[in-house]
Chain A
Amino acid sequence: DAGVIQSPRHEVTEMGQEVTLRCKPISGHNSLFWYRQTMMRGLELLIYFNNNVPIDDSGMPEDRFSAKMPNASFSTLKIQPSEPRDSAVYFCASKLIGDEQYFGPGTRLTVT
């Protein structure tokens, strides 16, 4: 299996631009998680889905952030407009009910 796939691996954008991060979970997995990692705040859960339905989005920082999972094999995390404080590594993870979470390699976002 290819594991969790995230794209792009690196993204540099200017403040105010829209950013879309993509995640392809492991085939057959029915839960998907978006995390953000920064030096100041560590690893934070932003949102997670079960069977494509958002279950808990309490970690989403503000309305500039949105996440979708239109089908079982694809999810996006969008930031509009982006700000320098959004610079971080964003991880996607997927799992089967009762199993462990498998993490993707992450997307390093830099907002200038």
Chain B
Amino acid sequence: AQSVTQPDIHITVSEGASLELRCNYSYGATPYLFWYVQSPGQGLQLLLKYFSGDTLVQGIKGFEAEFKRSQSSFNLRKPSVHWSDAAEYFCAVARSNDYKLSFGAGTTVTVRA
């Protein structure tokens, strides 16, 4: 079975600073990997996904993620954080694009002025 670990429960970052959120997955084959963002009181929105090909994936809102098979990681990055990026971020894994998602516990991002 697949699983996801997000080691950081909470991260605080200054506006304009860079952000990196860690995600480690466990799955025997090539996984399908996703990053979702959840703003307070809202549903989840897909930021980006990786299925195959280029291991550096660009997403919406200026986010990118890099798939590293050797480290079983799929870390999310943003070069310059905006106050509107304060939210909870979830990494998820599936065995295919049409299979059920397994989510990590989430990382809450606080942005300070």
Could you tell me which A residues sit within 8 Å of B by CB distance?
4, 31, 33, 42-43, 45, 48, 56, 91, 93, 95, 97-101, 103-106
B31 in the interface, Cβ–Cβ < 8 Å?
no
Query: B98 to A43, Cβ gap below 8 A?
Result: no
What residues on A are CB-neighbors of B44 within 8 Å? 91, 93, 103
Which residue from chain B places its CB closest to the CB of A31 in the assembled complex?
Answer: B98
- Select which of A98, A100, A106 is within 8 A of B46 by beta carbon: A100
Q: Is the CB of A100 within 8 A of B43?
A: no
Contact sample, A vs B, 11 pairs, CB 8 Å cutoff: A42-B105, A43-B103, A45-B101, A48-B100, A100-B34, A100-B97, A103-B43, A103-B44, A103-B45, A104-B43, A105-B42
Taken together as a complex, chains A and B put the C-alpha atoms of A27 and B54 apart, in Å, by 32
- Asked if B50 is an interface residue, CB under 8 A from chain A, the answer is no
B residues touching A (Cβ–Cβ < 8 Å)? 34, 36, 41-46, 49, 90, 97-98, 100-106
How many contacts between A and B, using CB within 8 angstroms?
A: 41
Q: Chain A: interface secondary structure? A: strand
By a CB distance below 8 angstroms, the chain A residues around B97 are: 98-100
Cβ–Cβ < 8 Å partners of A33 in chain B: 100-101
Shortest distance between the CB of B89 and any CB in chain A (Å): 12
Residues on B with beta carbons closer than 8 Å to the beta carbon of A104: 43
